[in-house]
Structures are given as C-alpha cells and as structure tokens.
Amino acid sequence: MSTSQVLQRLYSLDASSPDFLRYLYCLIQTDEEEQYLSSLQGLELVRLVDFLDGILGVAPIVDDLFRRCLHKLRTICGHHAILPSSYILSRDLTRVGDDPVVFGGFSDLWEGTHSGIKVCIRHLRVPEQIREPVEKAFYKEAIMWKRFRHPNVVAFIGVTRNPLQFVSEWVPNGTLTQYVNKNPGANRIGLLLDVAEGLEYLHANHTSHGDLKGSNILVDSSGHARLTDFGFASVVLELSSVLGTNAPEYTSRWAAPEVLRSGDVGNTQEADVFAFGMVVVEVFTGKSPFSESTATVAASKIKDGERPDRPQDPDLTDSVWDMTHTCWCHDPAHRPTISKVVQILRE
C-alpha cells in the first residue's frame, strides 16, 4: 500500500479503530513516508498538519506515539513554514500600554490580553525579505512548546502570523534574577528545584531548552520558577545567520565550552545541565555569571576551564555546590543528568 493510500485510509478511520494505530505507525516511521509527507502542498498539507495535531490532542503525552507524531509535525511545519489551525490565534489579542515591557535585539516583550486573559506577547522584528527562514525556525519551536504541560513550564497559548508573535501565559513576578533580588528571603533551593524539574520534564520529552538562564525563567504568583522561551535561541540564531550579524553575546555567560567552541545553539541536554550550574550562581548572587567581566572575557574563561567563585550564602550547602561543579565538567559525558540534579536538590 502506498503512502498516499495509507494516509487516505487513516482519514477514513475512527481513532478507536484497531487498524488506526497500525496505519499511523506505518505513516510516521520510514524515510519513504517522510519524503511523501514533505512533498504535500496546498489543502492536502493543511489537512495533514491538522490531522496530526488532532492526534496529539488525544494521545498521552508520555506515549511513544505522541513523541513520534509531535516530531513528525515539527519537521513538516518547519519544512513548509506552516502551522496547524489550532495554533493560530484569533484577532482577540490586544497589547497593553504604549511600550514593550522589555526591548530586545530581534524581539520585544509586550503585556497583552487574549480573550480577557492577561498574556505575554513576544513580537519578532523580521524584515520581509528574510521572513520565510525565520518562520520555519519559529514554527518548529511553536509546535513543541504548545503541547507541553508542566507546573514549571510557562504555558504557550498560540501564534500570530502578521506580525510574527509568540503568545504565552503571563507570569507576574518577573524573571528569576529580578525575583531573588527583590526577595532576599526567597527559598533559593526551592527555586532551583523548580527549574530542575521543569528541565527534567523537557528532557524526558526529548527536548532541550537551548538557552537556559535567569532571564528565561519566570516566577509565578505562588513563588515557583517556570521555564520559558525554550528553543527560541534557534530563532535568534536563524535571524543572526540570515542578517549576517552576531548572536547576542550575553548568553555566552551560561554556555557550555563545547557550545562556545562551535558557535552553535546549545540544544543538548548536557549543555542545559552546564547552564543550570550557572543558574545556581545567579540564584545565590542575584547577578549574571562572571558579572565582573565582559561577555567575551567570560566566554574565554569558560573555554579555558575557569568557573565562577562560590557565592557566600549559608543556604548554599557543600552538596549543592559540589553538584554545581559536576554540572560544569568540561567533558559533557561527565556531567550529571538533570534527574540526578533533581534528586540531589530534593535531598
């Protein structure tokens, strides 16, 4: 049976049919099907991405089928710069105020409302001539974020296309660094455990954050840390590449040595763990790693094997500091898994 016939057969079956799963696995697991699905255009392409999106709406998030469908959908949407209909927000999206709450190099963050709910709007500033490659990177990340549900991950709401915008849940207490500076009595170990558990969830779902740092961690109304903007570094890198500019240097303070050497996004679990060690420093100092140095000097220090000094805080125990140093191992293979980090912090 050809791939076209398999797909048409799937469209005709109810998801409860015993044949449905057999045909679905056939559709998503071989190179031949990959080539066929990537060649679809027009209404057939729209039907396919909405079909896969519908499957993700009913499949258990830890199921192998869910992961396969999710990554298949991500590949197709990134290739064609398309999104399922459920990702596109209605016109009921309004910015609040005359200025963004944060100005960025390629994007700005706005407070807004959607259907009467307070939201965060990340607006990308993209020249029309380079819109397509940026959309491809942008949509690949949107596919992943939309499906994740965890108390330590900020909820993703949807996308607008004109202009290009990510819309996510509004988290009221600002970034992790802002929060610990405003709240000297904050439970810093508890905040680190929140971050580690959010990261553990991403890693369990075969996703890396890629740009873990205090400004990409928000604190909610209950004082719990929540990850945001994972994968967004890929979009920034694509923008930098197309425009011929350098990616923002400030992220280098958190980057693993292998990432700094390659100049690529740190989309590995090992690089996330290294960055988590730098977040430990942020939480206990309220400052960026190597804050006394420029970003370029900080990057050189990391590549040369130098690491930040131990913060002088009585809540930073020897066991947590020892764990932090293992997160910073120069060899990625010698770093602990984030699950091991979670275990240490819980203890």
Residues recognised as catalytic: 211
| 3-state DSSP assignment of residue 167 | strand
Rounded to 5°, the CA angle 119-121-122 comes to 150
Q: Is 327 exposed, middle or buried (0-12, 13-18, 19+ CB in 10 A)?
A: buried
Containing 113, the helix (H) or strand (E) segment is strand 107-114
Compute the distance between CA of residue 18 and CA of residue 195 in angstroms, rounded to an integer: 40
Containing 122, the helix (H) or strand (E) segment is strand 117-124
For residue 270, the one-letter residue type is E
Q: How far is CA 209 from CA 12, 125, 223, 265, 302, in A?
A: 38, 22, 21, 10, 20
Residues 6+ away with beta carbon under 8 Å from 60: 66
Measured from the Cβ of residue 99, the count of other Cβ atoms closer than 10 Å reads: 9
Backbone angles phi, psi at 289, to 5 degrees: -60, 140
Compute the distance between CA of residue 327 and CA of residue 331 in angstroms, rounded to an integer: 10
Compute the distance between CA of residue 322 and CA of residue 337 in angstroms, rounded to an integer: 14
DSSP state of 309: P
What b/e sequence results for 232-265 when a residue is b if at least 16 CB atoms lie within 10 Å of its CB, and e otherwise? bbbbbbbbeebeeeebbeebbbbbbbbbbeeebb
Compute the distance between CA of residue 138 and CA of residue 75 in angstroms, rounded to an integer: 12
